[in-house]
Structure 1
Amino acid sequence: MPAVPLVLELELNTPLITSPPQDPLSAVRARNRTHLSDLIEGLRRAAKDPKVAGLIAQCDGGTQPPAVVQEIRDAVAGFRRSGKPAVAWARSFGELGPGTTGYYLATAFDEIWLQPSGDVGLTGYSARAVFLREALDRAGLQPDLSQRHEYKNAADMFVRSQFSDAHREALTRIVESTGEQVFDAVAAARGLSTDRLRNIVDGGPLSATDARDAGLVDHVGYRDEVYTAMARRLGGRMRLRYVGRYNHAAGKAQILRLPVHRSRGNVAVIYGKGPIAVGRSSASPFSEGSIGADTLSANLRAAAADKNVKAIVFRVDSPGGSYVASDTIRREILLARRTKPVIASMGSVAGSGGYFVTMCADVVVASPATITGSIGVVGGKVVPKRLLERLGIRVGSVSTGAQAGMFAADEPFTQEQWEILNGWMDRVYDDFTAKVAEDRGLSREAVDDVARGRIWTGADARDRGLVDELGGLSTAIRIARDRGRLPDRDDLSDVQGYPKVPFLERLRPAESSQSPAAASSSLNPWGTLAHLATALGLPAAGPLSMPFVPSV
């Protein structure tokens, strides 16, 4: 009796995991969510597996950032080249809300199904900024902030009541660049002219039947009809399995089948996600955690010293943070490059300090929609003195030095302290731009043209010399193999997350700062206040911080 065809499933209506969980509770909570690397590797395996007959994906909502969607689309395109059917379905691409990114993802598939009661919210992209100056004034809070330079809009949030020309210009280009990438891809996938598609977008959300008539979807039907149609296409029967589960099982089976031979080496993938801070990385089930310079540096030292590691991929997803922590990590990358190639792979965002730690890699890879750049500095404090006075709260202090209270929250900067702060800001900005020029082989004038705190999409950053290649993690791994003189291969058996520290070893004190155990993250069940401050736009993680990741 012939085997029942296997159809893989993807649920892309919830965010994918893009870096390994760093604490046990997060790992438990993530057990039913798909990891991006499992999706990419699973679809690659499935394309060549004769037991796999097709793919069905649920694409409601726009929960994936555009840069991650681009990596998923590349993986789906690879699966489709096998000739096997790949079908996307959604209850609605935005229910009285934006659905552009979810629909963009769905257009990577052969067919798109939409529930009759659903809509296609293909409305385009917008980026919004919040300005708190008037609210701060009313509350009695005084923002004492300095920025380098006009595009570093973290300060704008607190010191302005509306867009500056530079702020508006930067966000406008982010929206335009992302929109160009998305609309060009959607138009090509659906066989529409770009002008025709833009007319549809300007017409606002479309009902399911109107979307079908406009050529945006292929079929109107419910989930059961999608699955019934796929089963009929495969002869009347099929069995289902999630891509992540399939990939894990296929990986184990492959290990059992592989002949025993001496490894020629591997590619180490080191992940860095969250704000950049001094000290150890934090891991919390209640927040995204942080990139600690000590932890990341230990990772890099361990990988550089490992004779089995032939190349390093540094995967970064960070809005930046501490200047000294970023500089520490950059130094370790330069040291690692003395022994083996280091390839930087940017995720959804690698801005400010997140760019600082990647720019010196042998090759810098970003997705076209990655938010990057923000070469600038911001610093200062928000002073609640008037608010405290209104509440009848008085603060007394004694000091042993003229500047001992410079960073006290209850007093504004004096003129002398402003001069100190601005001198420090100038020094940091000068150092940042000098290192960009050195790492990227650009003149200081060219760097200043693309710096001044401005953010770019990956595509625009590549055109301006800030990024070398466009692509996702798979592209970075391919380049790492080539630079590390490893054979090209169709699987990830030579790729490992680094470092692999056994659970019991994590519980023991590290032998030294060179020990792999020193690279394991500390567990902080409450996270840090810096995460909240970052979400609110304060540069609590450090001067090389982005105020927010533009939501487009």
Structure 2
Amino acid sequence: MKRFLIGALAFIGAMSVLFMLGLIALIVMASTSRPSVPSNLVLEMDLSQPLPEHVSGDSLAGAFGEDPLTVRDVVDALEKAGEDSRVKSLVVRVGTSPGTPATTQELRDAVKAFRAKGKKAIAFTDSFGEEANGTSAYYFASAFDEIYMQPSGAVNIIGLAFETPFARDALAKLGVKPQFDKRYEFKNAVNSYTEQGYTGPHLEATERFAGSLFGQMVRGIAEGRGLTEDAVRALIDRAPLLAPEAVDGKLLNGLRYRDEVYAEQKKAAGDGAELLYVKKYLERAGRPHTTGETIALVYGVGEVARGKSGGSPFGEGAMGGDTVAAALRKASEDSRVKAIIFRVDSPGGSYVASDTVRREVQRAREAGKPVIATMGSYAASGGYYFAMEADKIVAQPGTLTGSIGVYTGKFVTNGFWEKLGVNFDTVALGRNATLASSDADYTPEQQARVDAELDRIYTDFTTRAASSRKMPLEKLQGLAKGRVWTGEDALENGLVDALGGYAKALELAKEAAKLPADARVRIEEYPRKKSPAEVLSSVLGETGDNSEDTSATTAVVTPWAPLVEATRVVHGLGVRLGVFAPERGSLYAPMPQTRW
């Protein structure tokens, strides 16, 4: 009996192993098999959700073919399709905005480049906003040859608005006292806690930022629809517009249903034309830039934290300074790599982690590897701190950048706990042992240390920024003080070198690497994205080592990772609300809620 049980258990174990190996094999086979591209097709995209900038290499979704379409996916697919004779046109159902102003501009540029190669691009929507603001969705659509809308829809191009909550009085009622210090008056990251409305500098910066974005949007719509800027502004002031009014205003080419638009595009493409989604096309046709000299692509996406990236198997976590630094180091040490494109999409975070990344950008350049930083939605505060070390900086006109400043502080919550009948007694050894305690204000000695820390960080930030931008310190300090800028204004002020996105960054990378403008190049991501089998193996409990091999530069993934990730998010919220002590010396620039 005993031998039978042992044999049965062994059989079950062997079958389990064979099952998992078979599952991994099926996933690998599914990921490597590539159906053919139809000989005559209309490229299709359904834009019903904002697009993410990047998906973590540890995403489990990709193992089952569910990775979301990213910004770079669309850019690459349209670049590939522009040169593909099988692709006759592009039709996009615009359900919402592609994302932030910078993301929207990146995709508008890709659509315009597609059209410049002789391909037609058609936008369709059921409505540009129904009860919501549809301005950003229409701004994206204005880059297309033609725009059609369902007859029952409306064109809600009502402009843009920034909404910033201020909770100082609410916190006071709860017995919570925000005690924060910053350098300097434009560093508005903590104003939601310390003020009850816009301060003068906060309002000045926000109005200028909003005005710059609004001007970009008006110019883009005017250019795309063959209208004057005054005409576009007048239409915005009249909106929401009924469908016939939008046609009369030349914002739409006509009123049609989806089936009519798609049928017409298939007919125009010729006999046997098929529809194929952008993501499927990219999977089958492959990405552009796969042969030639190697250009590395490194992502710095998310809030900056010390240590390794907090990658979740189901999405994107925090940007770990050690992870991104290791990727930059690996790319700079690879003899095949001629230049590095560093994609930054970060509002900042930890000063120490930002400096870890900045140092590796500096070392890459010292090793003879040019670094071109390309900014996504944000490259502000800590994000600007490590981007500024690059040879050249590219930003979209609508990128939020700058915010050269620092803040630190804590929430004093003893009044809140007193209301609940909770009292904390403390035994502390060391004069400043309670520096981060939420139970009491800073002592004069502690305040002096906080001020010294802020002054040191601000001096370091501005001095390095002035040096990297080859700008007199006095001029740089006039642009600093924590103030955010659009990419458009940053270019005018010398904080970035060019406007554009991936395509412009690649152009500058070739130039810096002394490659011909038309040279074929291979863009290789560092660290490389894990295969579906590797992701599944990680989830099943296999771990990476501490080496700098590109397959082991993210945090270990276990079946508990989703819970760990959720806990990290809750902890981050707790920091904001004062439940936990925040990182000291934060280089962070949150974006106010934008309605557009």
Change (3 A) 1:286 1:157: farther
1:251 and 2:286 are equivalent in the alignment: yes
String of CA shifts for 1:59-87, please: whole Å, max 9, x gaps.
12224211111111111111112323210
String of CA shifts for 1:289-343, please: whole Å, max 9, x gaps.
1111111111111111111111111111111011111111111111111221011
Change (3 A) 1:266 1:109: same
- Alpha-carbon deviation of 1:33? 2.8
Separation (CA, whole Å) in 1 of partners of 2:113 and 2:411: 50
Change (3 A) 1:83 1:253: closer
**Which of the numbers 119, 126, 130 marks the counterpart of 1:95?**
130
Change (3 A) 1:236 1:29: same
1:400 and 2:429 are equivalent in the alignment: yes
Change (3 A) 1:415 1:307: same
Change (3 A) 1:30 1:142: farther
Which region of structure 1 is more displaced relative to structure 2, 134-143 or 416-425? 416-425
String of CA shifts for 1:157-216, please: whole Å, max 9, x gaps.
111111101001111111100111110110111111111111111112111111111111
One-letter identity of the residue aligned with 1:383: V
One-letter identity of the residue aligned with 1:102: A
Does structure 1 retain, via aligned residues, the 8 Å contact 2:55–2:316? no
1:24 aligns with 59
**Which of the numbers 129, 132, 135 marks the counterpart of 2:164?**
129
- Alpha-carbon deviation of 1:237? 4.9
Does structure 2 retain, via aligned residues, the 8 Å contact 1:151–1:452? yes
**Which of the numbers 197, 218, 240 marks the counterpart of 1:183?**
218
Separation (CA, whole Å) in 1 of partners of 2:137 and 2:506: 27
**Which of the numbers 120, 128, 139 marks the counterpart of 2:155?**
120
String of CA shifts for 1:324-383, please: whole Å, max 9, x gaps.
111111111111112210111111001100100100100111111000011111110111
- Alpha-carbon deviation of 1:546? 1.4
Separation (CA, whole Å) in 1 of partners of 2:61 and 2:581: 26
Separation (CA, whole Å) in 2 of partners of 1:254 and 1:454: 37
- Alpha-carbon deviation of 1:548? 3.3
1:467 and 2:502 are equivalent in the alignment: no
1:204 aligns with 239
Work out the number of aligned pairs and report it.
541
One-letter identity of the residue aligned with 1:66: P
1:317 aligns with 345
Where structure 1 has 5 or more consecutive residues not aligned to the other structure, the ranges are 256-262
Separation (CA, whole Å) in 1 of partners of 2:249 and 2:287: 45
Output the aligned Cα RMSD.
2.4
Change (3 A) 1:253 1:293: closer
1:14 aligns with 49
**Which of the numbers 438, 455, 462 marks the counterpart of 1:426?**
455
2:23 aligns with none
Instruction: Please give the secondary structure, in 1, of the residue aligned with 2:60.
Output: helix
One-letter identity of the residue aligned with 1:329: V
Separation (CA, whole Å) in 2 of partners of 1:189 and 1:501: 37
Separation (CA, whole Å) in 2 of partners of 1:89 and 1:115: 8
1:300 aligns with 328
Q: Which structure is larger by alpha-carbon Rg, 1 or 2?
A: 2
One-letter identity of the residue aligned with 2:550: P
Instruction: Please give the secondary structure, in 1, of the residue aligned with 2:207.
Output: helix
**Which of the numbers 322, 333, 342 marks the counterpart of 2:361?**
333
Separation (CA, whole Å) in 1 of partners of 2:64 and 2:464: 40
Instruction: Please give the secondary structure, in 2, of the residue aligned with 1:147.
Output: strand
Which region of structure 1 is more displaced relative to structure 2, 33-42 or 18-27? 18-27
Instruction: Please give the secondary structure, in 2, of the residue aligned with 1:418.
Output: helix
Percent identity for Structure 1 against Structure 2: 40
1:150 aligns with 185
Does structure 2 retain, via aligned residues, the 8 Å contact 1:275–1:318? yes
Change (3 A) 1:467 1:534: farther
Does structure 2 retain, via aligned residues, the 8 Å contact 1:104–1:182? yes
2:586 aligns with 543
1:258 aligns with none
Separation (CA, whole Å) in 1 of partners of 2:208 and 2:325: 35
Separation (CA, whole Å) in 2 of partners of 1:254 and 1:400: 60
- Alpha-carbon deviation of 1:31? 2.2
String of CA shifts for 1:454-508, please: whole Å, max 9, x gaps.
00000100111110111101211221122123344487x6001112276659745
**Which of the numbers 187, 196, 209 marks the counterpart of 1:174?**
209
Does structure 1 retain, via aligned residues, the 8 Å contact 2:187–2:482? yes
Which region of structure 1 is more displaced relative to structure 2, 424-433 or 414-423? 414-423
1:280 aligns with 308
1:221 aligns with 256
Compute the TM-score of the two structures, normalised by the length of structure 1.
0.92
Separation (CA, whole Å) in 2 of partners of 1:394 and 1:286: 41
Instruction: Please give the secondary structure, in 2, of the residue aligned with 1:241.
Output: strand
Separation (CA, whole Å) in 1 of partners of 2:245 and 2:577: 40
Does structure 1 retain, via aligned residues, the 8 Å contact 2:490–2:496? yes
One-letter identity of the residue aligned with 1:476: A
Does structure 2 retain, via aligned residues, the 8 Å contact 1:534–1:547? no
1:480 aligns with 509
- Alpha-carbon deviation of 1:439? 0.8
- Alpha-carbon deviation of 1:424? 1.1
Change (3 A) 1:509 1:87: closer
Instruction: Please give the secondary structure, in 2, of the residue aligned with 1:348.
Output: strand
Separation (CA, whole Å) in 2 of partners of 1:139 and 1:234: 64
String of CA shifts for 1:406-444, please: whole Å, max 9, x gaps.
101222212222222112111111111111111111111
Separation (CA, whole Å) in 2 of partners of 1:119 and 1:30: 35
- Alpha-carbon deviation of 1:551? 2.1
2:142 aligns with 107
2:4 aligns with none
Change (3 A) 1:224 1:310: same
One-letter identity of the residue aligned with 2:573: L
Compute the TM-score of the two structures, normalised by the length of structure 2.
0.86
- Alpha-carbon deviation of 1:229? 2.0
One-letter identity of the residue aligned with 2:410: K
Does structure 2 retain, via aligned residues, the 8 Å contact 1:35–1:244? no
- Alpha-carbon deviation of 1:35? 2.2
One-letter identity of the residue aligned with 1:307: S
Instruction: Please give the secondary structure, in 1, of the residue aligned with 2:433.
Output: coil
1:356 and 2:397 are equivalent in the alignment: no
1:391 aligns with 420
Does structure 2 retain, via aligned residues, the 8 Å contact 1:371–1:549? no
- Alpha-carbon deviation of 1:510? 3.0
- Alpha-carbon deviation of 1:20? 3.2
- Alpha-carbon deviation of 1:448? 1.2
Separation (CA, whole Å) in 2 of partners of 1:446 and 1:148: 16
1:497 and 2:525 are equivalent in the alignment: yes
Does structure 1 retain, via aligned residues, the 8 Å contact 2:222–2:228? yes
One-letter identity of the residue aligned with 1:393: V
- Alpha-carbon deviation of 1:521? 4.0
Does structure 1 retain, via aligned residues, the 8 Å contact 2:438–2:581? no
Where structure 2 has 5 or more consecutive residues not aligned to the other structure, the ranges are 1-37
Separation (CA, whole Å) in 1 of partners of 2:122 and 2:575: 39
